[in-house]
Structure 1
Amino acid sequence: MATYFSIKPESETPSEKEIVNEMESYARQIFRDQPNRVHVRSLTFTENHARLVHFDRAGSQITPPIDFHKNPGTLIRLVTGLTSTNERTMGLDDSVQWMIVNGRKTRGSVTTTSPSGERKTYPIVERIPTSRDSIRGRATTCWRVKDPETGEEYVVKDSWRPSDRSPESELLEVVKGIPGVVEMVSSESCRGEVKDMRCPSTIGQYHNRIATRVTTKSYGPPIYRFTSVVQLLSAIRDAIGGHQRLVGDDVRILHRDISHNNILLGKDGAEKGCRGVLIDLDMAFRALDESSKVTADQEIGTRLFQSLSVLHSGYLKSRSPAHDYLDDLESFFYLLAYIFLSYRPDGTLLPSGDDGPSIVSKWGDESASAAFEKKYLLFGGGPAAKRALRLVEGTWGPVCGSLFDELRWWVLEKRDEKDELLGGYPSERVANPLEHFHSHRDEHYAQVLNFFDEAIEAVQGSASTPTSIEDEPLSTSNPGSGIDASSPTIPSLPTPPTALPPCRRSARIRDLRQARDEPSPIPTQPSKTSIHIEPGQLTTQLRRSARLQKRRLEDEHQLDAPPPKAKRIKRGLRVTTRAR
């Protein structure tokens, strides 16, 4: 479809807003069906007037009514332009071409810059699905293509970035060769601008966007298309490792948009470090020096996976703390929780009405405050937190349940430590109260990576030891939990005797292995890396708050006291205000 017209009698002429709303539905359909469409233009008629309606990635624009009885030439030019067979005039990106057979697209090709810097045409293998249905925005479109000479596959990514944001290609150039991070092979940083499609008199009435294209190496599908527990955990683990390298002192790039769409599975047989790949640096921030910071912003990132600090930033505004690597690590936890609560271990989706998906769906609320309240319930020892843990253990088994629980507490502990430091130093005396805390960044990553390494090894160990029906009873569903007893799960390990006191995750996995007479790779006396204050540094002790210790005690002894939600939010306000 090239264009569309709407005809109404003058007496029923709708308002300008109503016209745009009506024409928008058709424009959205054209953008969806024609992924290389740059803009869509249409006409609305009455017996006396016509109006041109224009849609692009910055939004919409409509002309004043044109009296075509007085200006017939204008009407002729409009109709001629809208029905032109010239692809660029029509609003198509002609670097993408299709072979049409019986009115349908068959094979296609993309012409872009090759790794050697020359223009080259690549056959399209497939269009990679993206979940961007809105007209205004980045409109990311991805094509998997194949080099006709070498047979190597690449991914061509088209998007529209805000003109006040640096192109993604600049950051991708910096991160070339980093394991666990997408690798760019070529780019086109400016392929056109919205302002070139609109009347010059309207500049300032919209946010200009610039068309960009990057070509990267090809990897596997998004992480939510995993097929085994080990594949999933290995992919998240290596993506976290890639993230650690991004925030290192020699790169200083903070991703800020960790999500299920921005981590890909590595290629089959990928080595450790490349089993999961972090992509999409559109929202990333690069610090030029150690003092550079970026304030948390609830409009940046994917709502479902935003940290509590980022969600709270809309309320705190200028008082909001900086977005740091711990916010992204918290997003990795929500990604893990999202998959544990929404999928089965074989990669199949749980029914949307089950308890797990019902919990997760509330994290994506358009209201940041509503999403904050629902995510907050995931922490501590309250009923909602214990319910989520039971669901994970019931579907994924004790090893994944322990990973979920340990990472959940780790996120809570680090967030509380940050809050205490921000609330403990008047800003006029300490310019950066988190400086010493952030100096232990590598230790923080080591702790998180160790959680995953232990879980991966435990799952691999349990899978290598076959079990029989006589040895272990079949697991049954938990009434009211929404978990189907017939759902596939990973081989279950025996549960430690209930008489034993609660132990840390490493000890639990060790005891599970010993119960099966398996050698344990976990030391007999597991120890966590702790943060020590070196001489000459800040002397304030990093400690867990009494409230945090109380919450952990409640969780371990299965108390049903709900987490102090209102108090928690109030405390966040106090902490950040004092840190100004």
Structure 2
Amino acid sequence: MSTRPTATHKELVGWVTMNDARSSVRDTADVYRGINAFVSFVADRVKFNVSEHRYESLVRSILPVGNADVAPDDTDDRPRDVHMLTGRLECDPASYPNYGAALCLVEARFDPDDQKQAYEQLAMHSRNIYAVQPHRRFLWGLTVCGTYVRACLLSNDNIYASKVVDVSGPEGREHFVELLVNWSMCESPRAGYDPTIWRNDARDKWMINVFDGGATRTYHELGICVGASSLFGRHTRCFIGKARGAEDSEKVLIKDCWPHVAEDAAGGQPNEITFLREIREKLCDVLGLAGKYPVLEAGGIVQVKGKDADMVDDTTTAATADLELAKPVLLRKHMRIAIRPIGVSLNMVDSPDELIIAVCDAMEAHTAIVRRCGILHRDISFNNILVSRTGGKVGGMLIDFDNAIRLDVEHVAGQPDRTGTLPFMSVGNLEESLVARTSLDDWESCIYLLCWLGASSVNDRDQKRYKDSPMGRILKWRNGDEGDIAEVKRQHMGSTPYFKKILAEFIVDGRYNGLRGLAMALHKTLFFNANVWPLCRGSFLNDESLERLQNGERPQEKHYDFGVDINITDPFARRAEIADKIVDDLLDTLTKARNEAIKRLYPTRLETISE
């Protein structure tokens, strides 16, 4: 791609003199042509000047790309005309323009008053860069409204915009040139790139450093299995790779993310690293759990060079330390872990019976982790249960302890915050209830997960086959705000007849009968458990039960919750008081369903011996 100006002198002059009534600029397309001309002109002059001083190897060319029908890769957006600036080193030949080559996106508007719309479009489209560039820590963007130019920095929780630069005047053009030159000359971390993940010499595979205390492990031959899918948040990415120098070692899953700082009294590490170490130590000798939970191989905070060339923790503050930005509202630390074994997405099961087995394995590990380690997961969802295959048989693994808590610290007071994925969040979680979080919240999430997959399909093949399957009621679990969803779930879970309406939305296929029966059994075991006094079951506070309790009425038969405070009539709070007993019942219910699924998948073959 040539670095010579791609637009005529008239187009360039027309853009920078838009305030003149005689301007040749008439619409947004003219604005883009003017921008491209200006950027190409600056790139040409930068190249000329650095070649005279022999600095070419230190400079990237900032070049415009426009009107390219760019596919968004790994996202749910339609392909569109995208205008972007690419930054490439002169020794690296430019490839076909795409999000993977973008330094930043450009959103232009003819009207100077369309700034808000420009911001919105920039935020919407820029997330595609995160999706396909695994080494981006933060993003740059550019908005041009009329002759008003703003540089934007897009981080995990904030979008920062520069002061307005009006390029219709010489001072504004000077500032814009300065920005382009800085992008050309700055080090890669200042351009938003992560120095601890890079391509190898052949440029066909990624390499990554994982930090563990004072040690650093390098993994190579990386395959990217999960890309960052949103502009804001943890930017979780997952890779599969092998330790460099240990070619015979098994592959590991490497998770890279930016969680909020959650200091832990045991050593100041983010919760997930601490939890995975405890789980590894306390479950390593438990028979039957191998492969059902992640074993930590290495993990820690990513280390980068600070201002004084010392190695420091990579945080959202450190990443932009020299850019004089306002301090972010939330501090995030860049965490990276390597775990094994490797699993695949839950939608890789071949049948509903395989789903039952995978979920049972995960919840078996969940129960052991709660009881042996005192750690509550708090985010049972589609992405946090993986499928594994050993010897031709399917299994499941529970992963992702970013939202976990210590029960011994926080169980009594409850945890009135929201964690998880909306369709699978428990009622108490959605409402930020003061009822203490227990394992029952995660089991409730498990029911929602099974119902969702039972109605939408357990894999891509079934989704195509049953694309017209109705999901009217279940879809309400993701529509509206948290309070609306909680109210809907209370209604859906509140009675057996209504829950049967949920089951009626399951795919009509005999293979789904076992999954439908399991969902029904788990619902009964959790919401209408026989150990709970009948008037305190279901999902709604029962004023009649409180009045009858206060009048001294007790059930004739003894229930497991007989010793619970008579003033506790909220069914969620009452069940929380006897959570361990109900979990025993739930695990027994799920285990029986798994055994039946195994019989259907792997029936015993009897050979007939004839004379």
TM-score normalized by the length of structure 1: 0.67
Alignment of 1:96-495 (within 5 A): 96-99=197-200, 106-113=204-211, 118-130=215-227, 132-148=228-244, 149=246, 150-163=248-261, 167=270, 168-177=272-281, 178=283, 179=289, 180-191=292-303, 192-196=314-318, 197=320, 202-204=325-327, 206-248=329-371, 250-269=372-391, 275-289=395-409, 292-297=412-417, 299-313=418-432, 320-343=434-457, 348-349=462-463, 353-375=467-489, 376-377=491-492, 380-382=495-497, 385-386=500-501, 388-389=503-504, 391=506, 394-396=509-511, 398-414=513-529, 416-417=536-537, 440-462=578-600
Is the CA contact 1:234–1:276 (under 8 Å) kept in the aligned structure 2? yes
Is the CA contact 1:379–1:409 (under 8 Å) kept in the aligned structure 2? no
Alignment match, 1:28? 127
CA distance in structure 1 between the aligned counterparts of 2:603 and 2:142, rounded to whole angstroms: 69
How big is the shift at 1:36? 1.6
CA distance in structure 1 between the aligned counterparts of 2:118 and 2:505, rounded to whole angstroms: 52
**Cα RMSD (Å):** 3.8
CA distance in structure 2 between the aligned counterparts of 1:306 and 1:290, rounded to whole angstroms: 19
Structure 1 unpaired stretches of 5+: 314-318, 468-580
How big is the shift at 1:290? 7.5
Is the CA contact 1:225–1:347 (under 8 Å) kept in the aligned structure 2? no
How big is the shift at 1:430? 8.7
**Alpha-carbon distance change, 391 to 32 in structure 1, aligned in 2, over 3 angstroms:** closer
CA distance in structure 2 between the aligned counterparts of 1:170 and 1:208, rounded to whole angstroms: 19
Secondary structure of 1:92 counterpart = coil
Is the CA contact 1:184–1:217 (under 8 Å) kept in the aligned structure 2? yes
1:284 maps to a residue whose letter is A
**Seq. identity, %:** 19
1:453 maps to a residue whose letter is T
1:306 maps to a residue whose letter is M
CA distance in structure 1 between the aligned counterparts of 2:325 and 2:122, rounded to whole angstroms: 20
CA distance in structure 2 between the aligned counterparts of 1:378 and 1:396, rounded to whole angstroms: 24
CA distance in structure 2 between the aligned counterparts of 1:64 and 1:345, rounded to whole angstroms: 49
**Alpha-carbon distance change, 289 to 162 in structure 1, aligned in 2, over 3 angstroms:** closer
Alignment match, 1:519? none
Alignment match, 1:77? 178
How big is the shift at 1:221? 0.7
CA distance in structure 1 between the aligned counterparts of 2:461 and 2:470, rounded to whole angstroms: 15
1:128 maps to a residue whose letter is C
How big is the shift at 1:145? 0.6
CA distance in structure 2 between the aligned counterparts of 1:351 and 1:370, rounded to whole angstroms: 31
Secondary structure of 1:382 counterpart = helix
Deviations 1:419-450, CA, capped at 9 Å, x for gaps: 77998599xx8999999965644432222222
Is the CA contact 1:303–1:366 (under 8 Å) kept in the aligned structure 2? no
Is the CA contact 2:152–2:160 (under 8 Å) kept in the aligned structure 1? yes
Deviations 1:35-76, CA, capped at 9 Å, x for gaps: 221112234457865422111112211011135733776444
CA distance in structure 2 between the aligned counterparts of 1:320 and 1:63, rounded to whole angstroms: 42
How big is the shift at 1:95? 1.9
How big is the shift at 1:302? 0.5
Secondary structure of 1:143 counterpart = strand
Deviations 1:467-519, CA, capped at 9 Å, x for gaps: 9xxxxxxxxxxxxxxxxxxxxxxxxxxxxxxxxxxxxxxxxxxxxxxxxxxxx
Is the CA contact 2:233–2:258 (under 8 Å) kept in the aligned structure 1? yes
CA distance in structure 1 between the aligned counterparts of 2:463 and 2:434, rounded to whole angstroms: 36
Is the CA contact 1:309–1:327 (under 8 Å) kept in the aligned structure 2? yes
Deviations 1:178-235, CA, capped at 9 Å, x for gaps: 3332221111225422223167865356323221111111322122211244432222
User: Relative to structure 2, which stretch is displaced further, 392-401 or 429-438?
Assistant: 429-438
CA distance in structure 2 between the aligned counterparts of 1:287 and 1:108, rounded to whole angstroms: 39
User: Relative to structure 2, which stretch is displaced further, 193-202 or 147-156?
Assistant: 193-202
User: Relative to structure 2, which stretch is displaced further, 201-210 or 86-95?
Assistant: 201-210
Is the CA contact 1:226–1:346 (under 8 Å) kept in the aligned structure 2? no
2:415 maps to a residue whose letter is T
**Alpha-carbon distance change, 200 to 119 in structure 1, aligned in 2, over 3 angstroms:** closer
TM-score normalized by the length of structure 2: 0.64
**Alpha-carbon distance change, 17 to 155 in structure 1, aligned in 2, over 3 angstroms:** same
CA distance in structure 2 between the aligned counterparts of 1:157 and 1:463, rounded to whole angstroms: 33
Structure 2 unpaired stretches of 5+: 1-85, 88-102, 265-269, 284-288, 304-313, 551-564, 606-611
How big is the shift at 1:354? 3.0
Give the total of aligned pairs.
Answer: 450
Is the CA contact 1:287–1:293 (under 8 Å) kept in the aligned structure 2? no
Is the CA contact 2:237–2:255 (under 8 Å) kept in the aligned structure 1? yes
Deviations 1:256-308, CA, capped at 9 Å, x for gaps: 1100110112341499xx932111111111134475443343x4210111122
Task: Choose the corresponding residue for 2:194, options 83, 90, 93.
Answer: 93
CA distance in structure 2 between the aligned counterparts of 1:182 and 1:35, rounded to whole angstroms: 23
**Greater Rg by CA:** 2
CA distance in structure 1 between the aligned counterparts of 2:165 and 2:200, rounded to whole angstroms: 38
Secondary structure of 1:261 counterpart = helix
Is the CA contact 2:158–2:328 (under 8 Å) kept in the aligned structure 1? no
